[in-house]
Structure 1
Amino acid sequence: MTFIIYKVVGSLIAPPGIFFLALLFCTVLAWRKPRKYFLTLLLLFFAFTLYFISTPYGASKVTGPLEDMYSPNLPLEGTKCAILVLSGGSTSDNEGNVVQPGALSIERVFSAVKVAKRIDAPIIFSGGNVYGTDQESEAQIMADCAREMEYSGEIILEEKSRTTKENLLYVSDLLKPSNFESFSDSNFSSSEQPRSLILVTNAFHMRRSILAAEKHIPTIKIFPFPSGRLTEPVYKGFHHLLADGNSLMSSCLGIKEWIGIALYKIR
């Protein structure tokens, strides 16, 4: 019982739990005479919405459906294919120099290397210098990470993209027959286009990535290979009802993806 109290109190005195309590306090003030009914209801709505999306259970309802859409899928043996890895951020050292992929990107690189070693396919890393403030592109940083994981196969870099849309747009240019000389030692020849792409990104990001691929690379079959989840697929106990920053981040990433998917649908 002491442990449960410790966890509950801990979740409420640190963000985002403390923000929930602050909104409840503002709700009480709004309810005092003269009572502001609309403001009270609005504050209550924001307070409990914030708390809900800040819990593992809430994140599983917001972002979980995105992560359930696709399972890892590979083309038939012998199919000419490449593995496309979309960048997911990077981290810096104490001097601000970008030195390695971020957590999301590392998951993607690991999954890609694992698949590439199994089926002997080249890896395309896609990601530029997003804000123009770093010395290397995210694609190069992921490639360096793949080498650290002892991947010795062919690596192809797409280093101009800054968004998911640009990832697929620039990769579509890379895959044009006139650019096939880039694939020097891969399982492509100068006269044929790859029949499929194994698309590697995190599960929550896969649906929007598939939509972008279908729009910009319609002639190539896409095989989704989600690299990992942010949310728990099943309820495991009371701790899934406690607010924490990671769950809030997962929910925010999911909300961003749902908005992006909606924009793809209406364009």
Structure 2
Amino acid sequence: MIYIIKFLYSTFILPPGIFILVLIFICFKIHKFNSKFLKPLILFTFIFYAFSIPLVTDSIISSLERQYSPPRNPSADVIIMLGGGATLDTPNLDFKGHLSGYSSNRLLTVLQLYKKLNVPIIISGGKVFKSSGTESKIAENILLSIGVPKSNIIIDDRSINTTENAKYTSELLQKYGFKKPILVTSAFHMPRALLQFKKFKVTVTPYPTDYQTDIRKSFGTNDLIPSGDSLSKLSLGIKEYIGIFASKVY
């Protein structure tokens, strides 16, 4: 019974489900008046529904995530991690600030690679907004707190976007003489990140992580249920494709 209640609540009361129900209700209401707005509203409702379900949005985000795969036997002389958001003043153990979910997943993969390769780590990410934390410094604090030596951590705390990630990281690679970098970022972000690194003539081994959906997607009834998570994936996908287009044009 509890699962049925949870299903009804999450599907029909929480956004975006409640908005879709309201739109359907309005369609039925104006149908009585043979309004010229009925067909456009029905079309809008269908499109809104389609872009609110995993069946559609998982396909969009997956089209980005499938472009690169982690190498089975990675080798590198340095690990590069790109930041993906951080809070400013949230309490941590001995410092303030937390990494976003995207950044945290990236950092976890960096730690796994560090344990395997035992090479220095470059963390690229600055203070993007006045209200956000400096991503590289927060990540550095986390690494130090779990025993990674400070001598193995290099930070770029100036970058506020992917272009600057590539620019300032390329300068650090030249400064320290690294020749074989491995790049860690979210799988959906990797295509755009590689385009930016290519602009600065930096060749990296891509190591995507932080996957938002399965590689081999199997259909389930939940794929037809509207969810806020689907809208978030839609936003991510659109942002990345716009960024990829902009990277190719400029």
TM superposition score category, shorter chain reference: 0.7 to 0.9
Distance in 2 (CA, whole Å) between partners of 1:45 and 1:232 is 30
The letter for the 1-side match of 2:14 is A
Shift of 1:122: 0.8
SS of 1:27's partner is helix
| Cα shift readout 1:19-65 (whole Å, capped 9, x = no counterpart) | 112222333345443521xx333323332222222222222111111
Q: Which residue of 2 aligns with 1:186?
A: none
Report the 3-state secondary structure (helix = DSSP H, G, I; strand = E; otherwise coil) of the residue aligned with 2:137.
helix
1:222 equivalent among 174, 193, 204: 204
Aligned ranges for residues 80-229 of structure 1 at < 5 Å?
81-91=77-87, 99-133=97-131, 137-152=134-149, 154-176=152-174, 179-180=175-176, 193-216=177-200, 218=201, 220-229=202-211
| Superposition deviation, residue 105 in structure 1 | 0.5
TM-score scaled to structure 1, two decimals? 0.81
Give, as a single letter, the amino acid of the residue that structure 1 aligns with 2:123. Answer: F
Deviations 1:43-94 (A, max 9, x none): 23332222222222222111111011111127865x5x21111101113556
Quote the offset at 1:244 in angstroms.
1.4
Question: Could you list the per-position Cα deviations for residues 184-208 of structure 1 after superposition, in whole angstroms to 9, with x for gaps in the alignment?
Answer: xxxxxxxxx3222211111111110
Structure 1 position 9, deviation (Å): 5.3
Number of residues of Structure 1 aligned to a counterpart in Structure 2 = 245
Say if 1:60 and 1:231, in contact at 8 Å, map to a contact too: yes
- Report the Cα distance in structure 2 between the residues aligned to 1:5 and 1:21, rounded to whole angstroms: 17
Which letter does structure 1 place at the counterpart of 2:66? D
Amino acid at match of 2:54: P
SS in 1 for 2:104: helix
The SS at the match of 1:132 is: coil
CA shift for structure 1 position 125? 0.4
Deviation readout 1:141-161 (Å, 9 max, x if unpaired): 011122334333600000111
Unpaired runs of 5+ residues, structure 2, are none
Contact persistence 1:57–1:235 (CA under 8 A) = no
SS in 1 for 2:71: coil
- Note the 1:6-25 alignment, pairs <5 A: 7-8=7-8, 10-25=10-25
> How has the CA–CA distance of structure 1 residues 94 and 236 changed in structure 2, closer, same or farther, with 3 Å as cutoff?
same
The answer to whether the 8 Å contact 1:90/1:98 transfers is: no
SS of the counterpart of 1:48? helix
Kept in 2: contact 1:117–1:151 (CA 8 A) = no
Q: How many percent of aligned residue pairs carry the same amino acid?
A: 33
Q: 1:94 to 1:229 in 2, by over 3 A?
A: closer
Q: What root-mean-square deviation, in Å, do the aligned CA atoms of Structure 1 and Structure 2 show?
A: 2.5
- 1-structure distance, mates of 2:129, 2:2: 47
SS at match of 1:91: coil
> Is 1:250 the equivalent of 2:246?
no
Are 1:238 and 2:221 counterparts?
Answer: yes
2:85–2:103 contact (8 Å) kept in structure 1: yes
Deviation by residue 1:122-145 (Cα, 9 ceiling, x = unmatched)? 1100111111345x5210001112
Corresponding residue SS for 2:189: helix
Over 3 Å counting, the alpha-carbon distance change for 1:155 and 1:15 in structure 2 is: same
AA at the equivalent of 1:69: Q
- Distance, in Å, in 1 between the alignment partners of 2:120 and 2:53 is 40
Question: Aligned letter for 2:194?
Answer: I
Q: Which amino acid aligns with 1:254?
A: G
CA distance 1:239–1:82, shift in 2 (3 Å): same
Residue 224 and residue 48 in structure 1: after superposition, are their counterparts in 2 closer, same or farther (change >3 A)? same
